Homo-oligomer: A and B are copies of this chain.
């Protein structure tokens, strides 16, 4: 048997806290400020704890109130999302997708137009976000995660491995410090993603070379920025081969050493378990899977051979 507080009072509490005022909360709930005051009083009496500290003109949450609000907000939000999901037509043609930023800008965005051609009726609402999300707390339908694929309580579908290779601007190769073997990197700036400092170290291991302390190093917060920095001739970064295929084939980036580091991480398409997919969701999922298995439009593989050591300097002519 459950022991629950007066639930309607919780709704009033949450609105009051959010608005920072009983009067404002009353307006939102279409009742008078007096009604709000009564409700809060009831709740406080039930709990035996003051949730707001009153200073005759303004109200402010007490520490207990703040703590309680977090959970109440979370719970009400879940109810709201669940109710909306239930009420919303089963056959909407809108799909809300949250995508790992790098995958979004370098893979999905360039292919969006192809999806829209195939499914002009389906509206994709895309947002970028790192890390996991709680499907019970957001109205997001599906997501593209970056990681090792080990997540609980969600349906996971493998999309694509992430293999890192060093990339740099073609100009870098024209400088006085050539890149003939991995050890030559000591004369260059290594660009790190600050949360994944170990990647360069691992790469040197794979390249059967000792880890070198680079001339300079540059730390940036995301792989998007490191790739951009490499392109701006700021040094050498580690980037995924597939995701940078456009820059490589256009000659904006070159691969001085075609030695890939297997990060053991990948991109995955995920969605809620036990949830029947709408037609639109199914269409997106199937398109994504088919598209990712299709041969690369930009033909990296063939181009790449022109950018590996030996012929690398030749590719610099374009830029």
Contact B83 A3 (CB under 8 A): yes
Q: How distant is the Cα of A3 from the Cα of B87 in the complex, in angstroms?
A: 11
Contact B74 A136 (CB under 8 A): yes
Q: How distant is the Cα of A220 from the Cα of B11 in the complex, in angstroms?
A: 49
With contacts A8-B8, A131-B152 taken as known, whether A49 is within 8 angstroms of B79 at the C-beta atoms is no
Chain B: minimal CB distance from A44 (Å) = 11
**A 210-251 contacts with B by CB, 8 A:** none
How many copies make up the complex? Answer: 2
| CB-defined A-B contacts under 8 Å, sample of 13 | A1-B28, A2-B76, A4-B11, A4-B80, A5-B83, A7-B7, A64-B86, A67-B274, A68-B82, A71-B79, A72-B82, A131-B152, A132-B152
With contacts A2-B11, A131-B152 taken as known, whether A86 is within 8 angstroms of B74 at the C-beta atoms is no
Partner of A79 from B10, B15, B48, B64 at Cβ < 8 Å: B10
Contact B3 A15 (CB under 8 A): no
Q: How distant is the Cα of A275 from the Cα of B63 in the complex, in angstroms?
A: 11
Cβ contacts under 8 Å, A87 to chain B:
47-49
Q: How distant is the Cα of A70 from the Cα of B47 in the complex, in angstroms?
A: 26
**A 75-112 contacts with B by CB, 8 A:** 75-76, 78-84, 86-87
Counting chain A residues whose Cβ lies within 8 A of the other chain, the interface size class is: 35 or more
With contacts A10-B7, A10-B79 taken as known, whether A15 is within 8 angstroms of B2 at the C-beta atoms is yes
* A-B residue pairs, 7 tightest by C-beta: A71-B82, A7-B7, A75-B75, A75-B78, A75-B79, A5-B83, A68-B86
Cβ contacts under 8 Å, A2 to chain B:
11, 14-15, 76, 80
Q: How distant is the Cα of A28 from the Cα of B2 in the complex, in angstroms?
A: 9
Complex: chain B residue closest to A2, CB-CB: B80
Cβ contacts under 8 Å, A4 to chain B:
11, 76, 79-80, 83
Complex: chain B residue closest to A82, CB-CB: B71
Complex: chain B residue closest to A87, CB-CB: B47
Cβ contacts under 8 Å, A76 to chain B:
2, 4, 75
Q: Which of A2, A68, A81 has the most CB of B within 10 A?
A: A2
Q: How distant is the Cα of A68 from the Cα of B84 in the complex, in angstroms?
A: 10
Partner of A78 from B14, B71, B84, B132 at Cβ < 8 Å: B71
Q: How distant is the Cα of A86 from the Cα of B2 in the complex, in angstroms?
A: 16
Chain B: minimal CB distance from A26 (Å) = 12
Cβ contacts under 8 Å, A7 to chain B:
7-8, 10-11, 79
Cβ contacts under 8 Å, A1 to chain B:
28
Chain B: minimal CB distance from A13 (Å) = 11
Cβ contacts under 8 Å, A47 to chain B:
83, 86-87
Cβ contacts under 8 Å, A28 to chain B:
1
